[in-house]
Amino acid sequence: MAEFHELGEKGEDMAVGYLRNNGYKILETNWRKGSLEVDIIAQKDDILVIAEVKTRSTNYFGEPEEFVTKAKQKNLIKAANIYIQLNNLDVETRFDIISVLIKGDQHKVHHIEDAFYPTL
């Protein structure tokens, strides 16, 4: 289990680096409120980005982004609403997925903007 946790942390670090290199300001990492968690909260221009990071060592069972379930999406939307209210923000919000595939010394970061939309 510790190995899986280390892989996830490494993927999140790579995702943060990727976002920074692409002009995003990192506001929070691993932000928690109760049982809700957001891997990365960032901002680019006037857009608040709520990013879920999925890291895998293989895509044999599917691409990492395919493992962001509807339940996870619902929790990210709830967490984003709480974050926005707590910080009294009035910004456009986007939900992204950052997929990280790490195989040995090689890695691939795939950033999916607007990966899903909040539903009413």
The residues, any chain, with a CB within 8 Å of residue 75's CB and separated by 6 or more, are 36, 37
22, with CB counted inside 10 A (0-12, 13-18, 19+), is exposed
* 3-class DSSP state of 81: helix
- pLDDT confidence of residue 107: 83
Strand partners, 111: 98
Walk me through the domains of the chain, giving residue ranges and CATH numbers: 2-116 (3.40.1350.10)
The rounded distance, in Å, linking the Cα atoms of 14 and 3 is 17
**In the chain, alpha helices (H):** 2-21, 70-86
**36-48 pLDDT, tens per residue?**
999 999 999 999 9
- pLDDT confidence of residue 23: 97
Q: Which residue bears the tokens 């992204």? A: 96
The whole-model pTM stands at 0.89
- pLDDT confidence of residue 44: 96
- pLDDT confidence of residue 29: 97
pLDDT tens, the chain, 120 aa long: 465 567 768 889 999 999 999 999 999 999 999 999 999 999 999 999 999 999 877 666 666 677 788 999 999 999 999 999 999 999 999 999 999 988 878 888 999 999 998 875
